[in-house]
Amino acid sequence: MAELTTDRITTVQRDGLVLDVHDEGPIDGEVVVLLHGFPERADCWRLVAPLLHEAGYRTLAMDQRGYSPRARPRRRRDYRMTELLGDVRALAEAAGGRVHVVGHDWGAIPAWLLAMHHPDLVASLTAVSVPHPQAFLTSMVRSTQGLKSWYMLAFQVPFLPERLARTPGGLLDKQLRAAGMTADDVVRFRAEIVDDGALTTALHWYRALPLADPRLTRHKVTVPTTMVWSDDDIALGRWGVERTAHLVEAPYRFVELAGVSHWIPTQAPDALAEAIIDRARSTAS
């Protein structure tokens, strides 16, 4: 294992792409990698990160592929899970490895994959909203998850979501509000994703799903893991979350947040930070 770097990490470069990183908190603290989902960027952790800093942790929040301005390849195949995993692996290696990894929404997928395929780089995993990928895939046919995930199919249609996003207050904005996003965060979405030209490349995370190798997710996790889920999440149901425990062969905890929507990092930052810190401290020697 490489030693923890004491230089601030502002970017990660991989295959000609430059991913922006927000490196904050005590420089000598244990590293917590924070991975955002759709349709947000690294600043979705703005309320969680200071709480982690107060507890002595250093945070690396990365604007992921498709979101960072210098990391927006146009082909959907550049957003396959192997590429998403490679980016997060590069960040963990740049930090010296043995990092605590936290992922919300789509960010949970590369977090799960890193824990599956590179457990030597992961001290602990906190998955937020999205269960183990294999549990999620099974839930699509064994529960109502397929109905909840209707938008994943809609996002496959070229140009349609982009067209729906053109008008402020239009259908896409209304769908985000219906999912529990605040009016201020919808404004942030328009500024950071739509106006900044990141919508199409952010949607490529969904559009690359038909190109995914299903064998990539058929592994159990062997690092200490916490699953955080909220019962007002209209996008992710309980079925897959409850079966995630069977796919973790390590200390495991399930944290359910009552009355919280899908947007846990901005709507329940204290509870989420507590879950992350508890999991990280549980791994201390």
Active site residues: 105, 206, 262
Q: How many CA atoms lie within 13 A of 181 on its CB side?
A: 21
Rounded to whole angstroms, what are the CA distances from 277 to 60, 77, 264?
Answer: 15, 36, 16
For the chain, the distance separating the N- and C-terminal CA atoms, rounded to the nearest angstrom, is 16
Torsion sign across C-alpha atoms 25, 7, 79, 126: negative
Please give the Cα distance from 266 to 272 (Å, whole number). 9
Bridge partners, 62 (sequence order): 21, 35
Q: What b/e string do you get for 141-180 counting C-beta neighbours within 10 Å, with b at 16 or more?
A: eebebeebbeeeeebeeeeebeeebeeeeeebbebbeeeb
Please give the Cα distance from 282 to 124 (Å, whole number). 9
Please give the Cα distance from 158 to 188 (Å, whole number). 24
